[in-house]
Amino acid sequence: MAEKADMIGVSGLKEAALLLANRDTRCGVFITAVQLRQAPALLELLTNAKRMPPGWVIPRDKKLRQLSRLANELSIVEEVVLPLLMEDAADVDGVRLLHQYGWSIRHIARHVDKTGGPFFLAAAEASSFVLSLQGHLKSRTRSVEFLRKNLEDLRVKIGEFKQFTVHLPAEVGVEEDGVDGRLVAGEDEEGHQV
């Protein structure tokens, strides 16, 4: 019979990296908090730690995967969409992508935090700003100077939003449902009940 792994909570990328560097026994790791901008790197670190001997057990990472997806989408807005629109505020592809990612921010936030939770509210505010700006770009109801200034403001807002620290449920083996706040048991990637 396999021995049960110690469960260790980590808060952020630095703690996880240091744990990986100093841990040579099998352990279970759950994330208690992470900055949005660090989510992709933390997810990669955890994925690699599961594969490397002695192999970490990660009881749940669904919310971390959603945060990673959101951080990547925000990077696309910063690196692709905003430069397109700064060059030409009427760029059809840029406006369409801004609309798509504006809705995506709010949608992903629902998978991470319940409606009315701190992360959801921050995401909803960012999403509303993006969609409002997209509406002005699409209908051309504002001057080019106004739009360029707001595109710069959007770049700043995205940078601030990526600094947001998301606190995940700290109870081991339990995932908080983002829709109604119920706590439900989950499974790890191998189908074991946690």
In the predicted model, what is the mean pLDDT of residues 165-185? 51
**Which of 50-54, 71-75, 137-141 has the largest mean confidence?**
71-75
| Whether pTM exceeds 0.85 | no
Q: Is the pLDDT of residue 183 over 60?
A: no
Contacts 24+ apart (CB under 8 A), 78-86: 78/155, 78/158, 78/159, 82/151, 82/154, 82/155, 85/137, 85/147, 85/151, 86/148, 86/151
CA atoms within 13 A on the CB side of 147: 24
For residue 175, name the pLDDT band (cuts at 50, 70, 90).
Answer: very low
- Per-residue pLDDT at 4: 64
Domain ranges for the chain: 6-63+166-185, 65-163
Average pLDDT, whole number, for the chain? 81
Q: What is the mean pLDDT of residues 159-173?
A: 77
Q: How far apart are CA 35 and CA 64, in angstroms?
A: 10
Average pLDDT over residues 169-191: 43
Query: What is the largest distance, in Å, between two alpha-carbon atoms of the chain?
Result: 70
The predicted structure's pLDDT at residue 5: 64
Higher pLDDT, 100 or 187: 100
Q: In angstroms, rounded to a whole number, what is the distance separating the alpha carbons of residues 55 and 93?
A: 44
Cα Rg, the chain, nearest whole Å: 19
CATH topology of domain 65-163: Four Helix Bundle (Hemerythrin (Met), subunit A) (1.20.120)
Q: Choose between 22 and 191: higher pLDDT.
A: 22
The pLDDT score that the predictor gives to residue 160 is 93
pLDDT digits (tens, 9 = 90+) for 73-128: 999 999 999 999 889 887 889 889 989 999 999 999 998 888 888 999 999 999 99
